[in-house]
Amino acid sequence: MSFFQSLLSLFLGKQDDALAASQAAGAVNNAPGASVVALLSPFGDPQVDGPEGVMMRGLSMRSEVALKVSSKKIEMSGEGALAGRLAAAAEVAHEQALLVNADVVIWGTVAVESGDLNIRLFPVRQEPLTKPGAVGLGDLLRVPVNFSVEISDLIYAAILAAVPPRNELHLREILIELGPVLDRLSETFQAGPPGLTDNQMFSARATYGNCLAALAGRTRNAEMMNIAAETLWKALEMPAAASLPLDAGMAQSHRAACYMSLADLSGEPSCLTTAAEAFASAADAFGADSQPDDWALAQMNRGHALYRHGANSNEPRSLQAAIKAYGEALKVFTRGRSPARWSELMNSQGITLAQLAESFSGTALAEQAVECFMKALEVRRREAVPGLWAASQNNLGAALFSLGKATGDNSLLQRAASSFRGAMEVYREAGSTNNVHVLQKNIGRVERLLETRGVPVTPESKEEDRETADGDESGEKADAPDAGGDTTGKKPD
pLDDT in tens, 381-421: 999 999 999 999 999 999 999 999 999 999 999 999 999 99
**Which residues are bridge partners to 66 per DSSP?**
37
List of residues 6+ apart from 364 with CB closer than 8 A:
none
Whole-number pLDDT of residue 488: 41
3-state secondary structure at position 72: coil
CA-CA-CA-CA torsion sign (38, 43, 46, 47): negative
**Which residues are bridge partners to 108 per DSSP?**
119
Per-residue pLDDT at 354 exceeds 50: yes
Per-chain mean pLDDT for the chain: 87
The domains found in the chain, sorted by start residue, are 1-268 (no CATH), 333-493 (1.25.40)
3-state secondary structure at position 104: strand
CA-CA distance, 468 to 445, in Å (whole number)? 16
Q: What is the pTM of this model?
A: 0.87
Model confidence at 27, in pLDDT bands (50, 70, 90)?
A: very low
Cβ atoms of 316 and 359 closer than 8 Å: yes
**What is the average pLDDT across 315-339?**
97
Whole-number pLDDT of residue 316: 96
Whole-number pLDDT of residue 49: 54
pLDDT digit string (tens) for 81-109?
788 889 899 999 999 999 999 999 998 88
For residues 8, 11, 12 and 15, what is the CA-based torsion angle, rounded to 10 degrees? -160
Enter the DSSP assignment of 283.
H
φ, ψ dihedrals at 401, nearest 5°: -60, -45
pLDDT digit string (tens) for 105-131?
998 888 877 778 999 999 999 999 999
Helix (H) or strand (E) holding 172: helix 168-191
Model confidence at 53, in pLDDT bands (50, 70, 90)?
A: confident
Cβ atoms of 354 and 366 closer than 8 Å: yes
**What is the average pLDDT across 172-187?**
93
The rounded percent of the chain whose pLDDT value lies above 70 is: 85
3-state secondary structure at position 484: coil
Whole-number pLDDT of residue 18: 52
CA-CA distance, 144 to 174, in Å (whole number)? 26
Whole-number pLDDT of residue 157: 96
C-alpha closest to that of 345 among 283, 284, 302, 400: 302
Whole-number pLDDT of residue 424: 97
End-to-end Cα spacing for the chain: 51
Neighbours of 176 (CB within 10 A): 13
pLDDT digit string (tens) for 298-312?
999 999 999 999 999
Enter the DSSP assignment of 481.
P
C-alpha closest to that of 249 among 313, 206, 208: 206
Cα atoms found within 13 Å of the Cα of residue 452, Cβ hemisphere only:
8
Cβ atoms of 390 and 423 closer than 8 Å: yes
Model confidence at 319, in pLDDT bands (50, 70, 90)?
A: very high
Cβ atoms of 235 and 205 closer than 8 Å: yes
List of residues 6+ apart from 183 with CB closer than 8 A:
2, 4, 5
C-alpha closest to that of 311 among 262, 355, 261, 255: 355
Per-residue pLDDT at 485 exceeds 50: no
Per-residue pLDDT at 38 exceeds 80: yes
The rounded percent of the chain whose pLDDT value lies above 90 is: 70
List of residues 6+ apart from 323 with CB closer than 8 A:
303, 349, 352, 353, 356
Q: Which residue has the higher pLDDT, 287 or 464?
A: 287
CA-CA-CA-CA torsion sign (130, 84, 332, 278): positive
Q: Which residue has the higher pLDDT, 329 or 147?
A: 329
Neighbours of 313 (CB within 10 A): 15
List of residues 6+ apart from 419 with CB closer than 8 A:
393, 394, 396, 397, 400
CA-CA distance, 282 to 286, in Å (whole number)? 6
pLDDT digit string (tens) for 215-249?
999 999 999 999 999 999 999 999 999 999 999 99
Whole-number pLDDT of residue 461: 57
List of residues 6+ apart from 383 with CB closer than 8 A:
none
Per-residue pLDDT at 40 exceeds 80: yes
Cβ atoms of 114 and 199 closer than 8 Å: yes
